[in-house]
Amino acid sequence: MHDKVKIAVIGVGHLGEYHVQKYKALSTVELVGVVDTNLERATEIARRYDTKAYGDHNEILNKIDGVSLAVPTEAHFEVAKDILSKGVHLLVEKPITYQLEPADTLIHMAREKNLILQVGLVERFNPAVVKMESMLNGPVFVESHRMNQFTIRGTDVDVVLDLMIHDLDIILHIVPSEVKEIHAVGMSVLTDKTDIANVRIIFENGTVGNLTVSRVSDRTFRKLRVFQPDAYLAADYSKRELSVTRLDHKVKDSYNFPKVTTEKMSFPDSDPLADQISSFVNAIINGFEPVVTGNDARKALEISLRIIDQIKRGSRNFQRIH
């Protein structure tokens, strides 16, 4: 390993530029260059962040230790395969791929070459979620709501792969059990894919997860709630706040019932994307397993595809009633 980790960002659209910003802020990183098939865009970003521009990722792979890959999902597999084959560590944006077979190929390649393969499920680094995870005690019911206003970004995939996959990843991570049943409904509204969906997941241990997602909402709303025997935990992703409601058996009300108390925690100065990228760089330097592994991403992808298939078999298109 060099004095600094040599990094490139491949795909410098809206999200890729944020990756560039975070790497530039790290003293342990040398940003060797940015890559985009739109060379004009790559040149603009390179000038803005004082690095070099490339139009082909193959031109830079022998000069770097690690890559952030933020190209459209349909290009993930082919570009990621090139990256791993050159012995370069990889942080790839979610979803890892569209299908399980190419995901398995990438996971196998990374394992065979002893490379870091991290997937950009950034909500794992949300401080409200991180704090919640430290307080879990046998979740019984988990509920998530993720509502976004419509933007064209992400509409190359179903809303399940675009948005719900974040919550699926977290729920699959915090519930120590295999999925037993999935009940999913959804519909298209503005695109030719599912834009709104609701899923009920029943785990083998009896835990139930209920997930609702929309990318055609009139507001942004992102929350995760966990009900467990000793507390009710509510994480607000957007505000980066966590509230914990418990019974205080030391304090009784006038009816001699335990008092209900709520503790609120806020993390206003946090930056989940910066934490994700810093975690990736640290994994490269120290040889740590990444927080979100390729296997984690594969598991979330597998459940996502099962949900999408179930919705397709019973889907409904939005129709205006005159």
Q: Is residue 150 part of a domain?
A: yes
Q: Which domain holds residue 23?
A: 5-115
Same domain membership, residue 73 and residue 135: no
Same domain membership, residue 233 and residue 99: no
Same domain membership, residue 92 and residue 36: yes
How do residues 69-86 score in pLDDT, each as one tens digit? 999 999 999 999 999 999
Same domain membership, residue 169 and residue 262: yes
Same domain membership, residue 140 and residue 62: no
Q: What whole-number distance in Å separates Cα of residue 72 and Cα of residue 79?
A: 10
Q: Is residue 276 part of a domain?
A: no
Whole-number percent of the chain with pLDDT over 70: 96
Same domain membership, residue 134 and residue 31: no
Supply the pLDDT for residue 318. Answer: 47
- Residue 252 reports pLDDT greater than 80: no
pTM, two decimals, is: 0.91
Q: Is residue 87 part of a domain?
A: yes
Q: Is residue 286 part of a domain?
A: no
Whole-number percent of the chain with pLDDT over 90: 84
Q: What whole-number distance in Å separates Cα of residue 301 and Cα of residue 133?
A: 21
Q: Which stretch of 22-31, 94-103, 250-259 has the lowest confidence by average pLDDT? A: 250-259
Collect contacts of 39-46 with beta carbons under 8 A, ≥24 apart: 41/12, 41/13, 42/12, 45/12, 45/16, 45/17, 45/20
What CATH number does the domain containing 197 carry? 3.30.360.10
Q: How confident is the model at residue 291 (pLDDT cuts 50, 70, 90)?
A: very high
Per the prediction, the chain carries an average pLDDT of: 93
Domains contained in the chain, number: 2
- Residue 151 reports pLDDT greater than 90: no
Element (H, E) at 285: helix 272-286
- Residue 2 reports pLDDT greater than 60: no
Average pLDDT over residues 175-199: 93
Same domain membership, residue 196 and residue 57: no
Q: How confident is the model at residue 24 (pLDDT cuts 50, 70, 90)?
A: very high
**Residue in 125, 112, 106 with CA at minimum distance from that of residue 67:** 106
- Residue 319 reports pLDDT greater than 80: no
Same domain membership, residue 110 and residue 130: no
Same domain membership, residue 65 and residue 170: no
Q: Is residue 258 part of a domain?
A: yes
State which of 53, 86, 115 marks the end of a domain.
Answer: 115
Same domain membership, residue 248 and residue 173: yes
